[in-house]
Structure formats: structure tokens, C-alpha cells
Amino acid sequence: MAPVALAFAVLNTLHGSATDLGIVLAARQIPTVLFLLFGGVVSDRLPRHRVMVMSNVASGSSQAVAAALLLTGRASLWELAALAAINGSSSAFFFPASTGIVPQTVPVPMLQQANATLRLSMNATNIIGAAIGGLIVAAASPGWAVAADAASYGLAAVAIGAMNLPAGLRIEGSTVLAELRVGWRDFWSRPWLWAIVLQFGVVNAVENGAVQIFGPVVAKEHLGGAAGWGLVLTSTSVGLVLCGFLMLRWRPQRILFVATLAVFMLVLPLIALAIPFPLPLVMLAGFLAGFFVEIFGVLWDVAMQQEIPLDKLSRLSAYDALGSLVLTPIALAALGPIGGALGTRTTLLACAVLTIGATLPVLLVRDVRTLERRPA
């Protein structure tokens, strides 16, 4: 519910612009980028489920305050941005821990099924959440959807806290900087890893930034507002879920080659919003993008967990996330003014071209074309 609620809290409740929405979204992403590497080291040292619990508590608290401000009519743009920054800081610890925890709990031959099942459950809740979020915003206010999001963090903390896992391995006498240097050497020694991370540094910035900023704006003008945008997000989630069922069974051998080919479909929502197409066609574009990006997501998780030692997985996942997200705050802050200067359609089409341009060179990397699934 939260993405729909936050977007229309800025656009409707605060009567903000696309630039204002970009500021709030960038405020969440900047601390995520700043703290990711530290979060990776902490997740390799401490019991990963404890790190996830602390992150959930911090995120839930920030969302609860945001909901209270919205429901009482006292919210301002800077307050939502500050609370988004707290949420982004806590997520910098959650992501590396959640990535590293899967191989601790699942046998190697079942990693793909585990990743597919995990992503399937998350995407299934997005189907309900996006649709209900749009309806709540349309019928009541964004504050109630944000309040539900806050409560979900509390439930997650209780569930994850019930796990019992050991702390990660720590080299005696090592420091945070020393462990980061080891992680950097391992990261740079794998061409497939840094090539795809550089690719997604651009793809995430232009694709996610454009959809998050201009999607609600186009929806407000052409697709029926919050309810229509909720349907688009729901369609994307339906694609993610249906692909999740496929990935429980389909096991392509050249995992990174297939994953990279799937990324090209991310341009479809950008083109659909740029025209803009009627709502059913925008929903179809979202569905196809969700379906194919899930192929990438599952296979990327398999490659990371198969090729990287467990005691370094959280750190290298943090480098992965840092490189993939580092340009996103800049894009979120800049795309609103760029769209105002060039026009929404031109900006969206330019983002589609950049997505293709960042993906094509990855296919030239030999490891991307040849890396294969290990036999069970």
C-alpha cells in the first residue's frame, strides 16, 4: 500500500508536484545508499535475523509517525522526507541481511525454489496491497494506508524474531574497513557481478525513477487517479507472481544470459506511460514488465548465492545494492525538473532508450553469456 499512499499524499494531500514527490523519494534512497556497505558488514558479523528485526522496528516506527501526521492533517513535505530518510536508513541493514539469510536456511540444490517461493509470497501481497492502497486513498486518505504499512513491519519483526540463527563468521582482529576491502576485492574479481551492477545503476535510476515519479502524474491526468495507478501496480505484481510459479519449475542452464535478456522488457511501461496508452494497455505493459523482471530477480539471486561464499554474501550484496541504487536518488531529484523542461513524454522515452543502452553491453561480457547453473 505504501508506494501508492505516499505518492498521492504528496500530490493530493499536500498539493505537491512531481518534483516534490521526487524529493521525498530521493530522501529515502540517499541514506539507503550511504549506509548499505555498513549494513553489509554488520549482517556478516551479527545474526542476520536480529538485524532484520531491528530494521523492521525502525521502519515501522517511522511509518507510524508518518501515518499519524497525515491522519491529523499536520504533515508537511519536509516531515515526510525526514521520515522517509529514517525508513531508508533502516532498509540499508535489512537488504544485506535478508539476502544472506537464505543460504543459511536452505540446501544448495533448493536455492532457486526457495528464492522463487520467497519472491512469490512477497509479490502476492503486492497484488492485494497496491489495489487496496489505491482504493483506500480514493475512498478515505493516504494516512490509513501508511498506517497499515506500519503495522505490517511489526508483524514481520515478530515472525523473523522467532528464528534462531548463529552469528556470521568474523575474522579475528578485523575491522569494518578491512572487511569492506576484502569485499571490494571479491566484488571486482567477478566481471559478471560488476557489469550487471553497473547496468542496474542506470536501469534502476531511469526506469524506477521515471515510473515512480511520472506514473502517478500520468495516472492523475489520464488513468483515473489513485485507483487507476493502483491497478497498474497490481498488474505488475500479477506478472511477478505468475512468473514466480514458472520459476519454481523452469531451470535455465545459462542463468545470467537468460536473466539479462529478460531486462529489455522493462521499457514497456515507460513507452505505455509516454504515449499514454489507455489504462488496460498500461496494465498489460506493467504485467509483462513484472513477469520478465522476476525471471531476472530469481536467477540473479541464484547466481549470487551459488558463486559467492556465505561469509561474504551480505557484504557483496551490499556492494551490489550500492552500485544498483547509487544513481537513483539523483534521478529521483532530477527527473521532475527534467520532465518539466522537456515534457513527460520525451523524458519517459529517453529513459526507455537509456535502459536498452545500459543492457546491451552486458551481453558482451563472457561470464554473463557462459555462467551456468551448478549441478545439484
| pLDDT score for 104 | 80
How many whole angstroms separate alpha carbon 257 and alpha carbon 367?
9
Residue 245 is part of a domain; what is its CATH number?
1.20.1250.20
Burial class (CB in 10 A: 0-12, 13-18, 19+), 71: middle
Task: Name which of 14-28, 55-69, 212-226 the model is least confident about.
Answer: 14-28
Is 109 inside any structural domain?
Answer: yes
Is 376 inside any structural domain?
Answer: no
| pLDDT score for 173 | 43
What predicted TM-score, i.e. pTM, was given to this entire model? 0.72
Is 7 inside any structural domain?
Answer: yes
The count of domains in the chain is 1
Average pLDDT, the chain: 86
| pLDDT score for 209 | 83
pLDDT in tens, 177-199: 777 787 888 888 899 999 999 99
Q: How many CB atoms lie within 10 A of CB 221?
A: 11
In terms of pLDDT, which residue wins out, 18 or 261? 261
In terms of pLDDT, which residue wins out, 129 or 266? 266
pLDDT for residue 254 is more than 60: yes
How many whole angstroms separate alpha carbon 196 and alpha carbon 145?
35
Q: Is the dihedral of CA 66, 69, 71, 74 positive or negative?
A: negative
Express as a percent the part of the chain with pLDDT over 90: 32
pLDDT for residue 258 is more than 90: yes
Query: What stretch of H or E contains 187?
Result: helix 176-188
Is 169 inside any structural domain?
Answer: no
pLDDT for residue 15 is more than 80: no
pLDDT in tens, 155-167: 999 999 888 776 6
Grid cell in block for residue 103: 543460504
Looking at residue 30, its amino acid is: I
Q: Is the dihedral of CA 36, 40, 46, 51 positive or negative?
A: positive
Kindly list the distances between the CA atom of residue 369 and the CA atoms of 253, 257, 282, 296, 301, in Å, as whole numbers in the listed order: 11, 5, 32, 14, 17
Is 375 inside any structural domain?
Answer: no
Is 78 inside any structural domain?
Answer: yes
| pLDDT score for 277 | 92
Is 346 inside any structural domain?
Answer: yes
pLDDT in tens, 302-340: 899 888 887 788 788 888 888 888 888 788 778 888 888
pLDDT in tens, 82-99: 998 999 899 888 888 887
Domain, as residue range, for 344? 2-164+174-370
pLDDT in tens, 25-66: 778 878 888 888 888 888 777 888 888 999 999 999 999 999
| pLDDT score for 249 | 87
pLDDT band at 172 (very low <50, low <70, confident <90, very high): very low
Across the range 60-73, mean pLDDT stands at 91
| pLDDT score for 284 | 96
